Every structure is written in structure tokens, then in C-alpha cells.
Amino acid sequence: MVKDSQVRVVIGVLLRRGSGCNICDNKYVHEENSVRQLSSAKLLSVLNFDDPRLTAIGLLSEAYAGLMARFQPVLTAAGLSEIDFETVIRLARSPWQRLRMSDLAAQTGLSTSGVTRVVDRLEREGLVRREACPTDRRASYAVLTDAGRERLETVLPQHLQDIDDCLTGLLSMSELEAFLGSLRKIRDVVRPCATAGAVETDAEARATS
């Protein structure tokens, strides 16, 4: 740890140097090196590579990567990529099992063109269909089909077992509730649009009733 007295000595030397004190060049070089060493030492004292913030994001990244590696074989066996599964499960958990394309893009974090490509692919496979919005001719819905629900039914039993084995089953009920609360708090800051369209408006409900 750099002491304040050491810093004052170096500052004093620099002040004497600036005032025209007749010090030889070699001593100037020595003093400049001392300043650099002190600056480096102060920098290292500020940078803590064991900072708990680095630990937090590191653990989160490691856990996410491990979970996705565990889940992927089941999704692949069902012919679904990670984004395919995210799309159909979000539709399945939405009101009327549908979402506006703009809301689906917001929830998945995809661009407009990106979500269009995903829905096009799922539509070709018969898992999703498009429907016009009855209240806005400019908008359209992505809707989960019967085939899409059947595909999910083949995936979910093993997927839920994997989730239980690797995540929820490792936590007590109180730990799980606290964990979900923490995740929602973080999600609301970094992905505030992740719940777009989760609650259907009165106009949309009347249009479909």
C-alpha cells in the first residue's frame, strides 16, 4: 500500500525540480521512475481482481452456459433451436397463446427482421401461424398452432426434469422465491421489454371474444 508520506516526498522532489534546482540528469531519471512506480502501485491498489462484482457476473455467466448446455440436447432432439423454443414457449404462456410480432420481438430481444425470420421458419414447420390484428391493420400476431403445442408437449417433460435437476431442485422454496425476486429485479433493469404484451388490452380481448 502506498503511504501518503511517500507521495509527499515525490511531490516535493517535483516541485524542487520545477523551481530550477540544479539536480543531475541521472537523479532526474531516478525520480521520474519513482513517480511511475508509485503511480502503478496506486493503480493496483484501486484495481481489485477479486472484486465481488466480477464474481457475480462470472458466476451468472458460468451458470447460464452450463444450463444451456444441459437443455440443448432435448431441444435438438425435438428439432428446435434455442430461439425456436423461446419463441413457442413465450407464445404458449401468453394470453390466447399469441403475441403481436412487435411484442414478440421485444420479449425475445430480436430485431424486427430477426423475429420475422424465426416466425417464417416456425410457420413453414406448422408450429406457428400469423393472424391479422383486428384492431390495427398494420399489425399482425404470431399464434401457436396445435402442432406447436404438441411439439412442446414432447419437449417439456424432460426439459422440466432438467430444470429441476440443475436449478430449482437445488433450492428450497424460500431460496427459490428470493432467487426469482432477484432475477425479476435485474431483468426489469436490463430487459424492461421482456414482458411486452404479457397482459392483453381490453380492446384486444373484446376483439377476440
Split at pLDDT 50, 70, 90, the class of 61 is very high
Other CB atoms within 10 A of residue 151 CB: 22
Q: How far apart are alpha carbons 78 and 81 in whole angstroms?
A: 9
Please determine, for residue 31, whether its predicted confidence score (pLDDT) is greater than 90.
no
Split at pLDDT 50, 70, 90, the class of 209 is very low
Average pLDDT over residues 31-40: 62
Average pLDDT over residues 116-135: 95
- On the 0-12 / 13-18 / 19+ scale of CB atoms within 10 A, 119 is buried
Other CB atoms within 10 A of residue 52 CB: 8
C-alpha pair distances (Å), 97 with each of 63, 109, 131, 136, 209: 30, 19, 12, 19, 14
Q: How far apart are alpha carbons 2 and 9 in whole angstroms?
A: 12
Of 78-82, 184-188, 192-196, 197-201, the poorest mean pLDDT is in: 197-201
Please determine, for residue 174, whether its predicted confidence score (pLDDT) is greater than 50.
yes
The DSSP bridge partners found for residue 144 are 128
Please determine, for residue 33, whether its predicted confidence score (pLDDT) is greater than 70.
no
Q: How far apart are alpha carbons 163 and 159 in whole angstroms?
A: 6
Average pLDDT over residues 132-146: 91
Query: What pLDDT is attached to residue 47?
Result: 78
pLDDT top residue among 208 and 56:
56
Query: What pLDDT is attached to residue 6?
Result: 53
Span 85-109, pLDDT tens digits: 999 999 999 999 999 999 999 999 9
Please determine, for residue 5, whether its predicted confidence score (pLDDT) is greater than 60.
no
Please determine, for residue 159, whether its predicted confidence score (pLDDT) is greater than 90.
yes
Percent of residues, the chain, with pLDDT higher than 90: 66
Query: What pLDDT is attached to residue 134?
Result: 84
For 60, the enclosing helix (H) or strand (E) is helix 52-77
Split at pLDDT 50, 70, 90, the class of 135 is confident
Q: What CA dihedral angle connects 90, 161, 173 and 190, to 10 degrees?
A: -40
Average pLDDT, the chain: 84
